[in-house]
Structure 1
Amino acid sequence: MLGLPKGEVFLIPWTVEWEKEFLLEKERIEEVIGNKILSVHHIGSTSIKDLSSKPIIDIAIVIQSFQDGTDCVVPLEKLSYAYKGPDLLPDRHYFNKGEPRTHQIHMYQSDNRYLLEQLAFRDYLRINDEARVQYENLKQELSLVNSKNKHKYANDKTEFVRYILDKIKLQSN
């Protein structure tokens, strides 16, 4: 299953179909804006094996210059993405697709702090089963109490994400 109706929060168990869907979408995106892209990453919970998630594929696109993002709007609209602008989320161009929403693009300039944190968090949970299970338990609990409030659901995960990012920084020193 893929797609989350507007205003709802629920999780479903991880499926290999999410990885397949990411690869298909990545190919479509590269066909229309490949000349602007430095790299494309599957991010968010759907990118972490065995982690229940909201059924939305999150995609990080890395571009050389932040201004390049505006050149990508029309081609991505042809793939049914809606451009939400550069100000909805910090330091990125944000796009979403579908109703119910099936895909989100977070377009970052290379070396963006938010991008690097997304990738570090994803990579840590991919190799640390204990942290992945803790995060899943938190997400399950929060999805039940915030089933109609996606912003509160997201904000209530922040402390755990910060804890993991701090742990990663300590390990790298």
Structure 2
Amino acid sequence: MITIVPYDTDWPEQFMLVARPLRAALGDLALRIDHIGSTSVPDLAAKDIIDVQITVADFACTPQLVTLLGTLGYTQAPGIVSDHVPPLYEGPATDWEKRYFRQPADLRPMHLHVRA
């Protein structure tokens, strides 16, 4: 069951608590680390799940990502390699490619997406 809750003013700080160790572990491998999804929109009710997107130069770094994120307790979900392609989208399906990692058991609910 999906539960939508009122906007929580702590969500930006909760993102930062997740992002700081990611930045420290990934260094320059991560071109960006962004708070995405509904919890990143001020005053929007949402699922209480922080969505984080890491941007990398290309997916050739996936083995290194798996190792570095593994040091923080993240595990790759190998079957999740893309988002659905929206109806009527005319670009290449590779535009929707990603890597997805599950958070460590001791972290709050979150989704970790990696895109090139």
Taking structure 2 as the reference length, the TM-score comes to: 0.77
1:96 is matched with which residue?
A: 102
Deviation at 1:68, TM superposition (A): 1.2
After superposing on structure 2, the runs of 4+ consecutive aligned residues of structure 1 that deviate more than 6 Å are none
SS at match of 1:67: helix
Choose from 69, 72, 78 the match for 1:76: 69
Where structure 2 has 5 or more consecutive residues not aligned to the other structure, the ranges are 83-96
Task: Tell me which moved more, 95-104 or 16-25.
Answer: 95-104
Are residue 35 (structure 1) and residue 28 (structure 2) matched?
Answer: yes
Matches within 5 A, 1:24-173: 24-85=17-78, 87-90=79-82, 91-98=97-104, 102-109=109-116
Q: How many residues align?
A: 101
Structure 2 Cα separation of the partners of residues 27 and 107 of structure 1: 16
Deviation at 1:101, TM superposition (A): 6.2
SS at match of 1:11: coil
SS at match of 2:77: strand
2:93 is matched with which residue?
A: none
Taking structure 1 as the reference length, the TM-score comes to: 0.54
Structure 2 counterpart of 1:108, one-letter code = R
Where structure 1 has 5 or more consecutive residues not aligned to the other structure, the ranges are 1-7, 110-173
In 2, are the aligned partners of 1:63 and 1:69 still within 8 Å (CA)? no
In 2, are the aligned partners of 1:32 and 1:76 still within 8 Å (CA)? yes
Structure 2 counterpart of 1:88, one-letter code = I
The structure with the greater share of residues assigned to helix is: 1
Q: Which one has a bigger Cα radius of gyration?
A: 1
Structure 1 Cα separation of the partners of residues 101 and 81 of structure 2: 10
SS at match of 1:19: helix
